[in-house]
Structure 1
């Protein structure tokens, strides 16, 4: 099949490369000429393990190409995906759908013959109806169907998630479009992947509901961590004890500095706004948003408290800046709240992140970026682990201790054992233990 992917951001680029690897011919389109030139030259504008090799292989095999103009690709396509950004709108938290509607209008002008137009971007309930209306208004004679096909990709494991997903959700109102989508995902049928066909609005809500539920699990265990600290319990043992219950499960029960990234903050906020519009508020999710925002700010206070209430003039070494490992994504990363708060309290910040330094430099100011964990630790009064990159899990702690001027290590991801850290001479502070 021939596929046009509008947008070469995280979702569009990963999805396009994976569809090409399934054997389809995919053209990825983006108005950013520099990004398209980078992709044509073999570069990849985002950090995702294995994506560079996947793109290189499919370009070489002639199944994947890149364009700045969508006209020819859409005209030839059986399926056109809209994978443009839907950021939170300033002022009210609603998803900004202007890029989605602009793409729909351009697609309408270029379509030739029956075309399935798929919203891959995360969009509020009812967006598919609006996309259909935009296309119909632009091209009253067009033969098309609008489908919802939300993504459930984890940054850092996106290729595996796409090729071996827990499920694929397809919201469709047209029988012909249903068969087109079934053929598009036929390689996954061979793996017995559940393909869940629903009505379009149901599919749109599934995406938001899934992310909100996971955000609630994270927030729940973070609140349990605070309670553990107050009563003298261990949140990791609590998480294990409840996670072994099959009704609960152990995933997303890892206490930390709060969730961030491209999905959870934006989607929980958009869901609350949609629910309020329909006079059916989701109060649990509203509370989750409030708690998470407060938690990220409170992590700086945790560091300051570990330093006897004063970081003025002290050097703080920060390990990990991105919102999670194996990505360069800085969107809503806890570090963006923690570091400015420490700076406001008078701290000098050194930092190291294996992939996120370039993105972080655009968002953080007066931070000394270093090229390694031990360089970061040199002469630091306190070290703070914010993101649990694998290379931070087995640091030479004796070397770290020798590099540092002080002995305080604040571990916001509970990587290390408190007893072992005490033996090595650290004043060790973690979460919920």
Structure 2
């Protein structure tokens, strides 16, 4: 089988290297970014995903993977996976211009009988609309949304908990299933169900995370401990332990845009998804909640304070700052007059312009970043922050307040260093 991939971002590049390097399929990946294509063709990994570099090397050495900036290179492909961005538009609806452009470029290139598998997250009805558009070209269209976690993308692709194939014909479904090669359980359904299943899955995770943050606020108010409460909840297999840890909010490339698009789709159909709307409102309130907690414990305004942000990416294990809740918190503090210094283990890979936009002064060493700090916020759950010498931090930031939004640190270690510890959802926290 000959496969193609359009787009070499997280989803596209992971799809290409796994199909070529692990499955051994003849794979061509296309991207309009010529510089990226040249770098990938030379074996340069443009994403810091575990296992990515090794699979890229294997695929290039075997000759099973080629990169091109020309859609014409996809002319002989049996299945082409389209993995282009579908960001939120002003109304919350998904912006499908990149997808429609890719389909327009593929239509005159692909041979009759070829199949386009849409891995991009798209609103319900998109696959059928594209199929109608391509009917005269005799090109099949299937919805096969991705379920990859940044930092675990290769593992998730090669050992998924489910593969969703939403097809209009059994023949098209069989071809796409063959491409996956039995990598995991396959759920076959209509394109509409496949499209909605992706949004429904991400929105449910967002609801669960926001619920944990709301419970953390209640725990702090009544003297309970969020860790004990969520341990009890997670022990119930009807609930599960995942996505129950409090934090500064959820972000990244998926949950913000997917919840917005789902709410927009529902409203256009006359349906209100109150649960998802509430989860988005709770998430948007997290930066203010953290700012209020600092103001209360320090018994003063935030103007003029020197605050250190430990962690700037939206989660650990990635350099991605898209919709990072850490940066949202920083921007809120800066807006109130605080001077915010930021450190992240992935700082060299973070766009300086993104930090400037949030008002963050980047510092490439955690000890220098925390020097003379009035408050230190743990905003991303990098395990490296646990092993910092907190006594050394206290020497240069005497009396600083440590607001641990991820409950990552050991409170006793912080207290014994002479620093004030604030945990999320704890009796002595916020």
Place the TM-score, normalised by the shorter chain, in its bin.
over 0.9
Find 1:390's aligned residue among 383, 389, 393.
Answer: 383
Per-residue deviation at 1:79? 0.4
Per-residue deviation at 1:175? 1.8
Asked if structure 1 preserves the Cα contact closer than 8 Å seen for 2:355 and 2:361, the reply is: no
The residue number in structure 1 matching 2:264 is: 273
Per-residue deviation at 1:360? 4.6
Per-residue deviation at 1:281? 1.9
What pairs up with 1:339-354 in 2 under 5 angstroms? 339-354=330-345
Stretches of structure 2 lacking an aligned partner (at least 5 in a row)? none
Find 1:238's aligned residue among 214, 229, 234.
Answer: 229
C-alpha distance in 1 between matches for 2:297 and 2:151? 32
C-alpha distance in 1 between matches for 2:351 and 2:420? 28
The residue number in structure 2 matching 1:94 is: 93
C-alpha distance in 2 between matches for 1:227 and 1:411? 17
The residue number in structure 2 matching 1:118 is: 117
Per-residue deviation at 1:61? 1.5
Which segment drifts farther, 64-73 or 80-89?
A: 64-73
Find 1:257's aligned residue among 221, 238, 248.
Answer: 248
Per-residue deviation at 1:297? 3.4
Asked if structure 1 preserves the Cα contact closer than 8 Å seen for 2:134 and 2:140, the reply is: no
C-alpha distance in 2 between matches for 1:297 and 1:124? 32
Per-residue deviation at 1:119? 0.6
The answer to whether residue 170 in structure 2 is matched with residue 175 in structure 1 is yes
The residue number in structure 2 matching 1:150 is: 145
Which segment drifts farther, 95-104 or 363-372?
A: 363-372
C-alpha distance in 2 between matches for 1:64 and 1:169? 24
Asked if structure 2 preserves the Cα contact closer than 8 Å seen for 1:171 and 1:201, the reply is: yes
Per-residue deviation at 1:308? 2.2
Per-residue deviation at 1:295? 1.7
The residue number in structure 2 matching 1:71 is: 72
RMSD of aligned residue pairs (Cα, Å): 1.5
Alpha carbons of 1:283 and 1:367: their partners in 2 closer, same or farther (altered >3 Å)? closer
C-alpha distance in 2 between matches for 1:236 and 1:360? 34
How many positions carry a matched residue from both structures? 423
The residue number in structure 1 matching 2:295 is: 304
TM-score in terms of structure 2 length: 0.95
Asked if structure 2 preserves the Cα contact closer than 8 Å seen for 1:172 and 1:200, the reply is: yes
C-alpha distance in 1 between matches for 2:119 and 2:89? 19
Asked if structure 1 preserves the Cα contact closer than 8 Å seen for 2:248 and 2:329, the reply is: no
TM-score in terms of structure 1 length: 0.94
Asked if structure 2 preserves the Cα contact closer than 8 Å seen for 1:321 and 1:360, the reply is: no
SS state at 1:393 partner: helix
C-alpha distance in 2 between matches for 1:374 and 1:62? 46
SS state at 2:318 partner: coil
Asked if structure 1 preserves the Cα contact closer than 8 Å seen for 2:202 and 2:255, the reply is: yes
